[in-house]
Amino acid sequence: MTSVADTKSAVSAYKGCVKEKGGVNACSDERAAAVKGISSAVKGECSPYVEDFFTCFAHRYRLSSCSDATVGKLLKCQEQ
């Protein structure tokens, strides 16, 4: 799992590559590193909301703890 500092560095490297080389097609390695870091961060930060969502989904939203807020919290986390 990559750290937040590694992810920020990878995103900066990708942005620099795009500016330097003039296009996203020439920066596939940098893009892959940035995407991997971002997905890892989202996975770590949003895992409690994902678990709540899939618990509700598995029980067809019949649990008393399942509401629109369950889905809203997951979506809000993923937008960050």
* pLDDT tens profile 11-51: 999 999 999 988 778 899 999 999 999 888 888 888 999 99
Confidence of residue 67 (pLDDT cuts 50, 70, 90): very high
pTM (predicted TM-score) = 0.63
Confidence of residue 1 (pLDDT cuts 50, 70, 90): low
Residue 80 CB burial class (10 angstroms; 0-12, 13-18, ≥19): exposed
Query: What span, in angstroms and rounded, lies between the C-alpha atoms of 75 and 24?
Result: 27
